[in-house]
Structure 1
Amino acid sequence: MARKRIAIDMDGVMADIVSHYIDWYAKRTGELVPVERLNGMPEPTGFPNGELIREFLHTPGFFRTAPVMPGSQEAVKALMEEYEVFIVSAAVEFPQSLSEKVEWLNEHFPFISWKNMVFCGLKTIVQADYMIDDYDKNLRYFNGERLLFSQPHNANYTEYNRFDNWEQIAAFFAKQAVPLAS
């Protein structure tokens, strides 16, 4: 029997991009933007200078230095024991991000093979049983089970199964496990 497949987004799911935006913004402007101010807002618009946020996305080192989402390393490693796991990230929109994302994954998730890293533009081509993502634009056209990872920009989404952290994701998949016949 083939193992079920999980497609996992990187930014906002494995990499804590929101706290990274906040930190980079504070370092460059001296203004600490509270995360609550970002609720329900597209990422750039919650900041007083949204253009600066867009600039970060094109700045060398931005994607490479993102913090790891708490609990993601342990949870992804455990999922890989039972599922076929692919990291699926939209990397071609910001060309320098491609190599930075590969380096980031190799450092923080060394147990993920390059064969399980998928970098693309649109994720509409992704075929899996489950997708964990923080964006409606990626989940909307996905044919498998859609798992929304909570982020401030998606606070108003109500049409998906929502998960606030990796512990909740791990618990969800623990319930999905089917015991092997003895």
Structure 2
Amino acid sequence: MKKTIAVDMDNVIVDIEANWINWYAEAFGVTVTKEAMHGIPEDQAFPDPLAARSLLYKPGFFRNAPVMPGAQEAIIKLQENYEVYIVSAAMEFPNSLPEKYDWLAEHFPSITWRNIIFCGDKSVINTDYLIDDHLKNLDFHKGKPILFTAGHNRGIDKHTRVNSWEEVLELLTSELV
């Protein structure tokens, strides 16, 4: 039986930071850098955090976000030896449910509907590994938590950290030995 991996979407396989920056610049004419997001909650990097947060509720925000570099190839490679699930706490933004589902179908067709979990609280996820960018999800994971680097979690020394999908592959390939 294969070991299981739960993979978060936002800031792990989806470049939500880049998408948010682009949407904010388009809506308000102000460009924020990814570096401005380092060490603070994502919305606090924008001049108007409430306006920035409102973008998360706009149709198309989640559907049109870019894929994280290396994520597609890494997921296919991981599926050779692991049962891979995509897990997103999408309930906070209910309009994101169909958009995230359609986004996954386009960019990760090897992930079937049986391996997609949209939930509100990831503490119910019981996989061998969880790859996520938020401590609120990793701290309560029953398996091995893996912190995927995002602007908001820089400087945190908790859990095993990976900075790229190349590092994810290295780590999980070494776990097979």
Counterpart Cα distance in 2 of 1:61 and 1:84: 29
1:153-172 alignment, distance < 5 Å: 153-172=152-171
Name segments (4+ residues, structure 1) moved above 6 Å: none
The CA distance in 1 between the partners of 2:77 and 2:119, in whole Å, is 25
What are the equivalent positions in structure 2 for 1:96-135 lying under 5 Å apart? 96-135=95-134
RMSD: 0.8
Cα distance in structure 2, aligned partners of 1:132 and 1:83:
13
Q: Look up the equivalent residue of 1:8 and give its one-letter code.
A: V
Distance (whole Å) between structure 2 residues aligned to residue 5 and residue 33 of structure 1: 37
The one-character-per-residue Cα deviations of 1:2-58 (angstroms, maximum 9, x if unpaired) are 210000000110000001111111111221111111111101111111112211111
Q: SS state of the match for residue 117, structure 2? A: strand
Q: Counterpart of 2:30 in structure 1: which amino acid?
A: E
Q: What corresponds to 2:71 in structure 1?
A: 72
Specify the SS of the correspondent of 1:88: strand
- Residue-by-residue CA offset, 1:91-125 (whole Å, 9 max, x unaligned): 11111100000000000001110000000001010
The aligned residue for residue 86 of structure 2 is 87
Moved more, 60-69 or 26-35: 26-35
Determine the C-alpha separation between the residues in 1 that align with 2:24 and 2:53: 11
Q: Decide which structure has the larger Cα Rg and report it.
A: 1
SS of residue paired to 2:79: helix
Higher mean Cα deviation, 67-76 or 36-45? Answer: 36-45
User: What secondary structure, in the 3-state scheme, does the structure 2 residue paired with 1:127 have?
Assistant: coil
The letter of the residue matching 1:106 is A
Residue correspondences, number:
177
- Match of 1:92, SS? helix
Partner amino acid, structure 1, of 2:71:
S
Question: How far apart, in 2, do the equivalents of 1:14 and 1:52 lie?
Answer: 25
1:55 corresponding residue in structure 2: 54
SS of 2:91's partner is coil
- Give per-residue Cα distances to partners, 1:133-176, cap 9 Å, x unaligned: 00000001001111000000001211111111101101111111
Match of 2:17 in 1: 18
- Normalised to the residue count of structure 1, the TM-score between the two structures is 0.95
- Between 28-37 and 135-144, report the one with greater CA deviation: 28-37
Question: Which secondary structure does the structure 2 equivalent of 1:86 belong to?
Answer: strand
How far apart in 1 are the matches of 2:91 and 2:35? 30
Cα distance in 1 between the residues matched to 2:104 and 2:96 = 12
How far apart, in 2, do the equivalents of 1:140 and 1:174 lie?
Answer: 23
